[in-house]
Structure 1
């Protein structure tokens, strides 16, 4: 088939399909009005149902055009002696709009059926990922949920504050424990030193010494009115008593 014949068929197809496209567009408008934006269907299928039907429509139109071109070429080659080529092209140009018009009517029905029955999800159907939306809350229920959430957030903040205080308390306890361990180690070393020096019992020796110092301090206090003191002891009777009690307890 020559290039001029193909161009003539294409022009004829464009002109003759304009009238049928009006009917097709009106049908699509009605379908879109019924189905809406089809966002839910797009979410499920992964493509818009309209794009699917448009693709099928365009593919069939191309097949019709290609089919008529092949038929025209075959008739010209086989029956050129009987039928002139111009007559064949003229008949082909007249036949194509008939095919397109018939196809448009049939495809409109197919498209409406597909969009309304095959590629349509009813309003009462939820996809598995949207199951949480099955139960809708009222405005009052939503406000109550917001208040509960705020209460939980406040409890979390309070718990964090308490945890911070407890962590600080643990750090303080660890510091005191470390000092206590150092003091205990020092006392153990002192006890070992006194034992190696021949002192039988460090605790009893300290208690005995504290008692002697306390008695001596009491005696000095009794002698104060008789004569002016030549020296002054810096030992507190209360402190000595406390030390004595601690040593006895230990």
Structure 2
């Protein structure tokens, strides 16, 4: 069997020429084996009909196997010549023949150096694309952070606007006084919260006692 890959032929035919030749060989071999079985069965019938036959079925089988080995050796020799004809003449593509999908290589030839240069250019473009994609991702993350900061600033502005409104309600435009007022109210709220927590604990203890 040929060891040449014959990749171009496999591309054209859709199957490997060596695989095709091997299947043909296996088909011939299977046919020869089946014929040996038929010949053996005919011989056995003839022996049964012949009076005084001295050959046993085991001896017939041994003779059939020897004959099969003999025929297979000749088949292998003949098929070696057939394989050369099939692989070199029938299933081979001449070196000067191009497949239709490869005609573009003939129209636009490319040397090995040019091909390597193009590959390097492609790699550089891929690196640039990855870098730009990474930079774009970083910009999007920064924009998201800016949106969060902007939202917080808007909340602060709203808080100052509310503070200014409270100051006006109490007739004071002094920020220091306003903060003092807010601190005082916050202290009152903390006292109320502590008082509520104490009463809640007291109620829970009474419930447990009941």
Given the two structures, how large is their TM-score scaled by the length of structure 1? 0.43
Answer 1 or 2: higher relative contact order, Cα 8 Å, separation at least 6: 1
TM-score (norm 2): 0.49
Greater radius of gyration (CA): 1
